[in-house]
Amino acid sequence: MMLTGKYIRRFLLSCTFLFFCQWLAAYNIDSLVTTIGQVPLDDQHKKIEKELTRLRDTNPAEGIELGNYWINILNEKQQSKKAADIILITANCYYRLANYNLNLQYIQTARNLYKMTDDQKGEAMCLKDMGFTYSKMDQNQDAITALQSAAEIFSRMNDYQELAVTYNHMGNVLEKWKNDLTTAEMFYRKSIENAQKVNDKQCISYSLEFIGILKSKLNQNDSAVFYLNQSLALRKQLNNPLDLAISYTNMAEILEKNGNYHEANSYYSHALRISSSIQYHDLTNFLYGNLSKVQRKKGNLDSAITYLELQQALKDSLFNLQKTKEFAKIKAQYEDQLKEEKILTLRNELELDEEKDKRKTYFLTAIIAILGSAVLLGVIIGIMIYNRQQKKVAKEKISQERLRNKMIIEAEEKERTRIAKDLHDSLGQMLAALKMNLNSLSNQSDHNGQFKKTAQILDDTIAEMRSISHAMMPESLVKNGLAQALVDISSHIDTSQTAIHVNVENWKGWTTTGEYVLYRIVQELLNNTLKHADAKNVNIELNQFEDEINLIYEDDGTGFELSGVKSDGIGLQNMNNRISSINGEIQFDSKPGSGTTAIISIPLTHINENP
């Protein structure tokens, strides 16, 4: 028994060591680092700087990993100047991820290294970047001080390119901090003068953009659009994703300010696609908020809510990502230490057992065969258990997703009900009272024509308020249920072009949430028909059977190709989320010229299990 126990321990140690060695062999750094490691250090440094600069604008998180890896190598080789260069670019990656505290720490480290090597331009670059970050953190006095120091060094060195960049940001700070638009515009134009000396189109594009924004603040909208279009044209030539995203954003803000919400939405969407792809979280967060605001102004409340939810999700993910990275760093340090100790222990034990193994080959072979069979059996059992758990997890995930959708929809309906009630009870009564007071003054007014015009505007306002209140939460749905609400739906829609026919059979009533969901889906389908289908007739059939609820929606409109519909479109996604929340499914049938049919099926047995 003693021999058997030792051989088992010996076998397990051998397996563990072999597995660990395989792990070390499989672990490899990025192919770029592998390739660069084969060339001289100066060439390596240039390639790393170039790659880091690219990652700073496209994938800053990956840039931080590569930067920190290379910083450690350069520190080991005591290459202070080269390490400072990489540290400064890595700091910019943290800036792109809105981690300003780490950004400042890295910049200060680089500045100290540049001072040690008497590199004045490097120190000026650090001061310039500090000015950017301090401005972002609203520490404006510190920002101006750092930028002025940087400008003095660049001016002495006749470095027109960096001087132009610094002047631009000095204008930014003065404009934001003191609203000194005159001095700010002077710095922007000085920036253009210096950038033109070295043909720096990127810097010129920024100066033109800043002047455009400044003109917008002065309500000189034509001038604002002129300068922003000049900036956008340059950036399209340079094809820098971040700069393009910023240009689209600025143009959208001016269009929104002028009330051109459709074009503003288009420019914001262009900017969002770019900022999401390069992981510029600050800009993405800002764009979600502005898109929500534009959608709300356009009357698309569902889209507005969706963008607000995306904005909140991004904020939550950024917080969780930071905490996860901090934990992962501590965990990695601890695990590295354990691995080193484990390797040393395993090697020592293997060396002690080596001589004994020569005399115990026969016993070890038998034990390996037995353990191999046991391991194989264990693997098979493990796979079976794993597959079973995965199925269980998948079911739970589907159930949780349905529950989440249901809670979201219930929350939306509660909010719609509240808003509709507030409109009806509060604003409606106030408008009614205003109309009564206005009528009481009708005989006393010397401006009868103006009075009638004002009264008509007030009547239109009351009618519009009632229409909005009904759209938010139809009174018929609340009081009489789904069947009557579908019958009454045509009373709130202009049916001069499209006739709406509703047929309800065997309807016994259902849960409040379920009826709300079906009504909203019919609203969405009807809205699409009226907007796009040019239909003459719409047929809605609602049937309740013993084991299923069935709703059929048909129109005789233009129809469409199903393959051309985006599955992630907001309207289709809203309908799928709603029907999923009540365990149902929706199927579409449509061809160009043949109208559109939507069939909704909801198993009642599932509903009873998940009320």
Predicted pLDDT at 392:
78
Q: Residue range 395-408: average pLDDT? A: 66
541 three-class SS: strand
Looking at the domain assignment, is residue 287 inside a domain?
A: yes
Percent of the chain with pLDDT over 90: 34
Q: Cα torsion at 172, 174, 180, 181 (round to 10°)?
A: -10
Per-residue tokens: 310: 């995306």
Residue 373 covered by a domain: no
Average per-residue pLDDT in the chain? Answer: 79
- Classify residue 62: in a domain, yes or no: yes
Of the ranges 111-125, 147-161, 273-287, 384-398, which one carries the lowest mean pLDDT score? 384-398
Classify strands 548-555 and 596-603 as parallel, antiparallel or unpaired.
Answer: antiparallel
CATH assignment at residue 528: 3.30.565.10
Is the per-residue pLDDT at 432 higher than 50? yes
Given pLDDT bands bounded at 50, 70 and 90, which one contains residue 8? very low
pLDDT of residue 38: 46
Listed residue (122, 140, 130) closest to 106, CA to CA: 130
Do 108 and 71 contact (CB within 8 A), yes or no? Answer: no
CATH code, domain with 248? 1.25.40.10
Domain membership of residue 11 (yes or no) is: yes
Q: What is the pLDDT of residues 103-122, one digit of tens each?
A: 999 999 999 999 998 999 99
431 versus 174: which is more confidently predicted?
174
Give the pair of three-digit tokens for residue 345.
């222990």
In order, the DSSP letters of 32-98 are HHHHHTTS-HHHHHHHHHHHHHHHHHH-HHHHHHHHHHHHHHHHHTT-HHHHHHHHHHHHHHHHHTT
> Residue 150 has what pLDDT?
94
CB-based contacts of 468, cutoff 8 Å, min separation 6: 423
Mean pLDDT, residues 318-327 = 60
pLDDT tens readout for residues 335-362: 656 656 665 666 666 667 666 666 666 6
How large is the average pLDDT for residues 454-463? 70
Instruction: Give the position of tokens 């907001």.
Output: 570
Average pLDDT (130-140) is 93
Identify the weakest region by mean pLDDT among 161-165, 211-215, 336-340, 381-385.
336-340
Q: What confidence tier does 281 reach under pLDDT thresholds 50, 70, 90?
A: confident
pLDDT bucket at 371, cuts 50 / 70 / 90:
confident
Q: pLDDT value at position 423?
A: 57
Q: Which of 42 and 271 is assigned the larger pLDDT?
A: 271
Helix axes of 120-136 and 140-156: crossing angle, nearest 10 degrees: 160
In this predicted model, what pLDDT tens digit does every residue of 227-236 receive, in sequence order? Answer: 998 999 999 9
Rounded-to-10 torsion of CA 193, 199, 201, 206? -20
Contact 504, 565 (CB under 8 A): no
Asked if pLDDT for residue 211 goes beyond 90, the answer is yes
User: Is the C-alpha dihedral spanning 78, 80, 84, 85 positive or negative?
Assistant: negative
pLDDT at 353: 65
Domain that holds residue 51: 7-118
Q: Which of these three, 85, 118, 151, is where a domain ends?
A: 118
Q: Which of 5-9, 400-404, 551-555 has the least mean pLDDT?
A: 5-9
pLDDT for the residue numbered 543 = 92
pLDDT tens-digit profile of 486-497? 888 877 777 778
Check pLDDT > 60 for residue 74.
Answer: yes
* Rg value, the chain, Cα: 34
With a cut of 70, say whether residue 557 has pLDDT above it: yes
pTM: 0.41
Answer whether residue 273 is part of any domain. Answer: yes
Between 101 and 356, whose confidence is greater? 101
Residue 521 has pLDDT above 60, yes or no: yes
Higher-confidence position of 13 and 477: 477
Domain end (from 300, 316, 332):
316
What confidence tier does 442 reach under pLDDT thresholds 50, 70, 90?
low
Name residue 48's amino acid.
Answer: I
Q: Which distant-in-sequence residues (6+ apart) come within 8 Å of 509 by Cβ?
A: 481, 482, 515
- Residue 379 pLDDT grade (very low, low, confident, very high; cuts 50, 70, 90): confident
Q: Evaluate whether residue 399 is within a structural domain.
A: no
Q: Cβ atoms within 10 A of the Cβ of 456, count?
A: 10
Q: Which two tokens stand for residue 511?
A: 């849960």
**Confidence band of 318 (pLDDT split at 50, 70, 90):** confident
Return the higher-pLDDT residue of 513 and 554: 554
As given in the structure block, the two tokens for residue 173 are: 């700070």
Q: How confident is the model at residue 19 (pLDDT cuts 50, 70, 90)?
A: very low
Average pLDDT over residues 441-449: 61
Listed residue (157, 243, 178) closest to 204, CA to CA = 243
Residue 446 reports pLDDT greater than 80: no
Provide the domain count of the chain.
3
Lowest mean pLDDT among 151-160, 302-311, 456-465: 456-465
Last residue of a domain, one of 90, 118, 146: 118
Percent of the chain with pLDDT over 70: 71
- pLDDT at 49 exceeding the cut of 60: yes
Higher pLDDT, 16 or 466: 466
Closest CA to 461 of 493, 435, 487, 500: 435
Q: What is the DSSP string of 338-376?
A: HHHHHHHHHHHHHHHHHHHHHH-HHHHHHHHHHHHHHHH
